[in-house]
């Protein structure tokens, strides 16, 4: 089972996660795509990654933008290695780089 990361561990993890931020005990990022279709495509791919980890994001979609918030709910909505790993997986499928 994961444990909450320290502020220093979060800072270190963010070095490998371009565009991600630490806000209110969560890792957050906004992905802006060229179209609604691209945003939905990303969300479907990301959903498969999340489901494979049994670790699900809080996210919203407005037209071409997907906003993602990652924290571990059963540990008091704190950031854990599961959140970092899911963010890394999202970056692997992110074609906006």
pLDDT tens readout for residues 23-40: 999 999 999 999 999 999
pLDDT digits (tens, 9 = 90+) for 37-61: 999 999 999 999 999 999 999 999 9
Specify whether domain 7-93 bears CATH 3.30.1540.20. Answer: no
Q: What pTM did the predictor assign?
A: 0.94
Phi-psi category of residue 35: left, alpha or beta, with phi > 0 → left and psi -120 to 50 → alpha: beta
Domain residue ranges in the chain: 7-93
What is the helix (H) or strand (E) element at residue 28, kind and residue range? strand 27-32
């Amino acid at each position: 089972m994961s444990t909450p990361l320290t502020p220093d561990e979060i800072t270190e993890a963010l070095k490998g996660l371009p565009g991600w931020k630490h806000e209110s005990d969560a890792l957050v990022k906004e992905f802006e795509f060229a179209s609604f279709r691209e945003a939905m495509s990303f969300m479907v791919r990301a959903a498969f990654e999340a489901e494979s980890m049994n670790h699900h994001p809080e996210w919203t979609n407005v037209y071409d933008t997907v906003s993602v918030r990652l924290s571990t709910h059963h540990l008091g909505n704190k950031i854990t290695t599961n959140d970092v790993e899911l963010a890394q997986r999202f970056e692997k499928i992110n074609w906006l780089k």
